[in-house]
A and B are shown apart, each in its own frame.
Chain A
Amino acid sequence: MASHATTAPETHGHPALQHHFENMEQQREAGTLGMWVFLVTEIMFFGGMFLAYTLYRSLYPAAFASASNHLDITLGAVNTIVLIFSSFTMAMAVYFTQTGKHRPQVLCLIITLVLGLTFLGIKAKEYSDKYHDHLIPGRLIPGNPYNPVVAEHGDTDPHKLHLIEGATVKQVEMFYWIYFAMTGMHALHMIIGAGLLTYLIIFSLRLRFDPEYHSPVEVIGLYWHFVDIVWIFLFPLLYLLGRHLEHG
């Protein structure tokens, strides 16, 4: 195919085209495909934790409902909306890159990053609340082991653990292991995503992306939406599962 390269159509002249691809479209599709293969490994990775969640929830339904009711539903819902909004601005960033609108593209990327950091800030507030209520499982934090105060019947103190009949403090600890593992891994993905967005913003400002070449924006967008989808499942599974039992 060497002779073919010399009589190439003009898209071959794009500076971002690597020598082992025929044209920009093939290069872009190869990148997208590679990202999807990576996302499959991510699906299986989070899938294992969803499996653990399902198993222990089926073993300790009352404890999971009690522990879930202790989480702050307002902060969880606000974070869901923040993340959905950031997914929308990420999609718009891809759109503006595809259509060659540079300023809105950079603006959308910056908004996405700010929303991602907002999510992490709210998450940090929740983690600190759990720390003060002694709900960090095991001895993850030296000097502050898992030791929640159990509420007596009729006590409405939100900082105490309100156990539904059949639940034990030890079983609730299992919920918090899974809660911190899943939200912690999700938060780590958000931190990595924030780093990737920072890279995108810097390279966008240097005019590296155009309608012909924007695989990094597209591929990091896929990653960002995937992390959003994980949260779409985490929110009802962790925050909402026992709400209908709260006043029963």
Chain B
Amino acid sequence: MSEHIVPVRIYLTIFAVLLVGTLLTVWAAFQDFPWQLNTIVAMTIAITKATFVVLYFMHVRYSMRLVWVILTSALFWMGIMFALTFSDYWTRDWIKVGY
């Protein structure tokens, strides 16, 4: 069996990290940070939590390279979807045409 078995200690650590992350994001939501920092803090915590779930609970850290390729390609294409959509919506006011 070449399958990697993740030790219980790591699962417990990730579980603790996720709980702390949840409490942290609730606490941070009530702080009035300047500019858009509230959103940035919330998303940073969420992405960190998701990364831990993917790497350890979903075993990606120990998986074959092809899983990495499939996952990053998904994130890459989602990036394209967001980038192209908002390059349209968020720039419509830049030039006034037809007024």
Question: A211-B1, A244-B38, A248-B32 in contact; A73/B74 too (CB < 8 A)?
Answer: no
Cross-chain contact B26 with A73 (CB below 8 angstroms) = yes
What is the CB-to-nearest-CB distance from B45 to chain A, in angstroms, rounded to a whole number?
7
Q: Mark A49-77, 1 if CB is under 8 A from B, else 0.
A: 00100110010000000000000010001
Cross-chain contact A99 with B29 (CB below 8 angstroms) = no
Cross-chain contact B90 with A58 (CB below 8 angstroms) = yes
B31 partner residues in chain A, CB cutoff 8 A:
244
A40 near B: Cβ within 8 Å? Answer: yes
- A217-246 residues with Cβ-Cβ distance < 8 A to B are 218, 221-222, 225-226, 228-229, 232-233, 235-237, 240-241, 243-246
B70 near A: Cβ within 8 Å? Answer: yes
A248 to B53, CA, bound (A): 35
A33 to B85, CA, bound (A): 30
A interface, over-half SS = helix
Cross-chain contact A243 with B70 (CB below 8 angstroms) = no
Q: Mark A193-236, 1 if CB is under 8 A from B, else 0.
A: 00000000000000000011000001001100110110011011
B56 partner residues in chain A, CB cutoff 8 A:
91
A203 to B53, CA, bound (A): 26
Cross-chain contact A232 with B49 (CB below 8 angstroms) = yes
A48 to B78, CA, bound (A): 9
Cross-chain contact B70 with A36 (CB below 8 angstroms) = yes
User: How many A-B residue pairs lie within 8 Å, measured between CB atoms?
Assistant: 128
Instruction: List residues of B whose CB falls within 8 A of some A CB.
Output: 1-3, 5-6, 8, 11-12, 14-15, 18-19, 22, 25-26, 29-33, 38-39, 42-43, 45-46, 49-50, 53-54, 56-59, 63-64, 66-67, 70-71, 73-75, 77-78, 81-82, 85-86, 89-90
18 A-B pairs within 8 Å (CB atoms) are namely A40-B73, A43-B78, A44-B78, A54-B86, A55-B89, A81-B22, A88-B11, A88-B57, A91-B11, A91-B14, A98-B5, A226-B58, A229-B50, A235-B46, A237-B42, A240-B29, A244-B33, A248-B32
Known: A95-B6, A243-B30. 19 other contacts (CB 8 A): A25-B3, A33-B64, A33-B66, A40-B73, A44-B77, A47-B78, A48-B81, A54-B82, A84-B15, A87-B57, A91-B11, A92-B11, A95-B5, A232-B46, A237-B46, A240-B29, A241-B42, A244-B30, A244-B33
